[in-house]
Amino acid sequence: MKKIFGGTETKIIHYVDSTFEPEDSVLKWARELGDRKGLPSIHVGKMDGLHLEVLTRTAGAKKAVEIGTLGGYSGISLLRGLGPEGRLYTFEMEPAHAEVAKESFQKAGVLNQVEVFVGPAIENLNKINKFGPFDLVFIDADKVSYPAYLKWATENLRIGGLVIGDNTFAWGMIADQQFEAPEDEAAVKALREFNQTVAQGGRFRATILPTGEGLTVAVKIK
């Protein structure tokens, strides 16, 4: 699945790609490795990877958490923002995906900065509480668990830390009232709760970037 920036395939997308050059040879290799290994093509888009790096740098983050490793593409982007002294704790449900991610991290020269946890993130996150508070939490995993992941992040982020949630337009369904499948309805309801909580819950100041997928960015203020 081709991830596009801005929601529509237009000359703007080609301008953005040629000007900002979001994907270098290492990221391209990681993306293609995932394809060769049969991973689902749901990694972040090229510009979203760049967004992650820039946001991580802007926050001055050194300790980050990623929920949803997949093949390591987004993790490499986060680690570039964290810098050589940074540390990434990343959580992946599928063992095969985690192995592909480790190959990607090795190729990028950042494997020694990563700790990969395999299994349900909701069960494993508490294993890293002692390393907090964290500077950034990136959420890009099962959508129905976004509110639970946000609860953990709220408790384990420093003031001024970032929560970033991907796919928060719910594939264009975020404002829909009727759904063809129950699983779509469940995902949309969870994503609405996630967005509502960071936007109006009082603990964060938040916005949503109008990427093709929707990227919610929230700063913890109290």
Which CATH topology does 11-220 take? Rossmann fold (3.40.50)
Give the model confidence (pLDDT) of 91-133 as tens digits. 999 999 999 999 999 999 999 999 999 999 999 999 999 999 9
CB 66 within 8 A of CB 78: yes
pLDDT on residue 167:
96
For the chain, the structural domain boundaries read 11-220
Please list, in sequence order, all residues whose beta carbon lies within 8 angstroms of the beta carbon of residue 139, skipping any fewer than 6 positions away. 67, 68, 146, 149, 150, 153, 163, 164, 165, 166
pLDDT on residue 43:
87
Query: What confidence tier does 10 reach under pLDDT thresholds 50, 70, 90?
Result: confident
pLDDT on residue 3:
57
Count Cβ atoms below 10 Å from residue 210 Cβ, excluding itself.
12
Burial zone of 216 (CB within 10 Å; 0-12 exposed, 13-18 middle, 19+ buried): buried
End-to-end CA distance of the chain: give it in Å, rounded. Answer: 38
Give me the mean pLDDT over the 3-20 stretch: 76
Give the model confidence (pLDDT) of 41-97 as tens digits. 888 999 999 999 999 999 999 999 999 999 999 999 999 999 999 999 999 999 999
Supply the mean pLDDT for the chain: 95
